[in-house]
Chain A
Amino acid sequence: MIGKTLRKIYIGLVILFMYAPIIVLIVLSFNNSRSRVVWGGFTLKWYSALFSSSSYMNAFYTTIILAVLSAGIATVIGLAAALGITAMRKRNIQIMLFFTNIPLVNADIVTGIALMLWFVRFLPLGFMSVLVAHVTFNMPYVILCILPRLDAMDMHQFEAARDLGAGIRYAFWKVMLPDLMPGIFSGFFMAATMSLDDFVITYFTKGPGVNTLSTKIYTEIRKGIKPEMYALSSILFLLVLIILILINVTGNNASRSINKTIEEK
């Protein structure tokens, strides 16, 4: 009995430490007082200030466009890569995955500086350079989401489609792609979150005129902490939360069908 209560208290404490700061931040974003310790009543004025400021809104749009575009491009390239990797021999698959996984674990700051050095020489720093950078670090996530789906797929289905008269392209669109869809969706959303989340790499590869929400927050904070920042941070958190829920919905479907194919085998 006591053990059970203790367990619950322990879990409660862990969750409290994880989420209390974010909850405080969100609460403060609705605080009428500028103080960080006194509750001055409920207000939406920081949010309205945010939405009426063109520079904040620009950062917001840039963030969204960047997330959707970079995730989209990374999904297309990642899908092609996953298809290619599956067709390789076992040893080459290992080598290939080793290379594609390095960007996942590499320190962001190293990737950021390396990309910056590269772009300074070949590409003017601006929206394009940030986009290319985001596609680069998004791709491994897409590959990792699609590969298991491909592994679990019965390649005989593709041959059966060819056998029944389908050309290579028709067989791919009608038979393979529908089977891969859950993996493709979770890859896309995973990539979009990574893009929304990123600060370090964006900071190093963006040009002077370009800002995403995270770099905007950082530049503003340096001038002093304003309540608008609480509102902005809350919005960023909410965006990521929504996408995470989406990943869970599609991802669950993916893992469910993968489990099923494994059981059948």
Chain B
Amino acid sequence: MSKKLIELNHISKSFDNTLVLDELDLYIRENEFVTLLGPSGCGKTTLLRIIGGFEKPDIGSVFFDGMDITMLPPNHRQVNTVFQKYALFTHMTIAENIAFGLRIKKKSDAYIKDKIKYALDLVNLPGFENRMPDSLSGGQQQRIAIARAIVNEPKVLLLDEPLGALDLKLRQEMQYELIRLKNELGITFIYVTHDQEEALTMSDTIVVMNQGYIQQIGTPECIYNEPENAFVADFIGESNIIDGVMLEDRLVEIGGQKFACVDTGFEKNEPVDVVIRPEDVELGEPEGGQTEGTVTSIIFKGVHWEIQVESIIGITFMAQTTQHFPVGKRVGISIIPDNFQIMHKPQSEDEEKLIEE
């Protein structure tokens, strides 16, 4: 494993008496693509701005490569930022924009010229040197913002929802572009987004945040398949989250019916949250399932149908399937043991609130 490049220790930050980050600990390894994922107001952008040097934490410290940089102003940090609204200098040409950081570092004209050409090639916009920023499309401006940041050869690139203002098609293109850039440059990317699909596509590691707390850290597969709590399960993809009781190891009761699962280590008769992904809810003939129900709605989603099924055990399941079931049809519902994800109920009221919000 590569070494820890950035370490955040016990970071707390509040604005106007509202706590935005609460005693947060996080480290980021060299050469990692880390995504801070969460709903708006979860503190992810504040965390990024603390790493960039635009905000100072109230408590806690930021270490970079073993050095305490908590109080270091942004212009002395070896990180560069790509801002959400690009923030190109409107009165300068593209070349002047890209050269801005290099001129401050007093690089030679020849070096700067080379770098500009290299950066424009890298972001697939060669020949744009003398254009003005407002003559470029949103996607092109975003590429220039990336070029302007990377010519400074930062060890870490911070990206604050950089694709938020682009349309869907362009966003998907840029996702591939970013992955390619990261591999070519071999530097650490810290990426902030509220778009779970973006996070799953690009990241090595996802940090799910809510209400100033880290909810879960893990690889995209791990976050999707093994959510640690109901918030993560709900935020990453769609889920059925159902109240259940853990009767014994590998046996859970939902709506009075027993289901086999693979989870162990719970108290006997402990109340739990049961998470089932909609694509894991299998529908078939009424008599063939573990329980049965009636289709109450069906929506076409392109690749699959999204179906609501009112089951006889009093629970409404959401299912995703490529098969069509008309409204009112009786269907059998089966879920294999592997696809039950059992989670402890939140302990305190605080935690409860956390999940509701």
Q: Which interface residue of A160, A179, A260 has the most chain B CB atoms within 10 A?
A: A160
Closest to B52 in A: A163
Contact in complex: B89, A160 (CB < 8 Å): yes
Determine which of A157, A159, A165, A264 lies in contact with B101 in the assembled complex, contact meaning CB atoms within 8 Å: A165
Contact A163 B91 (CB under 8 A): no
Quick one: closest B residue to A158, CB to CB?
Answer: B87
A179 and B104 form a contact (CB under 8 A)? no
B152: chain A residues within 8 A (beta carbon): 164-165
Structural contact, B87 and A170, CB atoms closer than 8 A: no
Shortest Cβ gap from A221 to chain B (Å) = 49
Is A209 in the interface zone, CB < 8 Å from B? Answer: no
Given contact pairs A165-B105, A165-B152, A260-B134, A160 touches B87 in the complex (Cβ within 8 A): yes
Contact partners of A165 in chain B: CB under 8 A: 75, 101, 104-105, 152
Q: Size range of the interface on A? A: 10 to 19
By the criterion CB–CB under 8 Å, are B105 and A154 in contact? no
Which of B61-69, B78-86, B270-278, B334-342 is the contact stretch? B78-86
Chain A residue nearest to B84 in the complex (CB): A156
The closest CB in chain B to the CB of A171 belongs to B75
Min distance, Cβ A202 to any Cβ of chain B, angstroms: 38
CB atoms of B87 and A154 under 8 A apart: yes
The digit string for B199-234, where 1 denotes a CB below 8 A from any CB of A, is: 000000000000000000000000000000000000
Instruction: List the A side residues contacting B134 at CB < 8 Å.
Output: 260, 264
Interface residues on chain B, number (Cβ under 8 Å) = 25
* Contact of B90 with A164 in the complex, beta carbons under 8 Å: no
Interface residue B74 (Cβ < 8 Å from any Cβ of A)? yes
Contacts of B88 in A (CB 8 A): 157, 160
In chain A between 139 and 191, which residues have their CB closer than 8 angstroms to a CB of chain B? Answer: 154, 156-157, 159-167, 170, 174-175, 178-179
* Residues in chain B near residue A159, CB distance under 8 A: 54, 74, 81, 83, 87
Q: Is the CB of B104 within 8 A of A157?
A: no
Closest Cβ–Cβ distance, residue B71 to chain A (whole Å): 15
- A164 and B104 within 8 A (CB): yes
Residues B83 and A179 in contact, CB atoms below 8 Å apart: no
Least CB distance, A87 to chain B, in whole angstroms: 15
From DSSP, what is the main secondary structure of chain A's interface residues? helix
Q: A156-B85, A163-B75, A165-B105 are in contact. Are A179 and B91 (CB under 8 A)?
A: yes
Say if the beta carbon of B288 comes within 8 Å of chain A. no
Check if B87 sits within 8 Å of A167, measured CB to CB: no
Contact of B80 among A163, A167, A264 (CB under 8 A): A163
| CB-contact partner of A162 in B74, B84, B148, B149, under 8 A | B74
Q: Are B80 and A162 in contact (CB under 8 A)?
A: no
Given the known inter-chain contacts A162-B75, A164-B101, please indicate yes or no for A157 contacting B89, CB distance below 8 A.
yes
* B186 at interface by CB-CB < 8 Å: no
**Nearest CB of chain B from residue A52's CB, rounded to whole Å:** 48
Interface string of B293-326 (1 = CB under 8 A from A): 0000000000000000000000000000000000
Known: A167-B75, A260-B134. A161 touches B90 (CB 8 A): no
Assess A160 versus B83: contact at CB under 8 Å? Given A165-B152, A167-B75: yes
Query: Per-position contact with A for B102-114: 1 when CB-CB < 8 Å, else 0?
Result: 0011000000000
Docked CA distance A121–B1 (Å): 78
* Most chain A CB inside 10 Å of its own CB: which residue of B52, B104, B152: B104
One of B73, B75, B91 near A178 (C-beta < 8 A)? B91
Name the residue on B nearest A89 (C-beta).
Answer: B16
Q: List, in ascending order, chain A residues with CB within 8 A of B80's CB.
A: 163-164
Cα(A210)–Cα(B105), bound, Å:
53
Chain B residue, CB-CB nearest to A257: B90
Contact of B100 with A by CB under 8 A: yes
Task: Enumerate chain B residues within 8 angstroms of A164, measured Cβ to Cβ.
Answer: 75, 80, 100-101, 104, 148-149, 152
Contact B89 A161 (CB under 8 A): yes
A166 to B83, CA, bound (A): 16
Which chain A positions have C-beta within 8 A of B100? 161, 164, 166, 174
* B interface with A by C-beta (< 8 Å): 52-54, 73-75, 79-81, 83-85, 87-91, 100-101, 104-105, 134, 148-149, 152
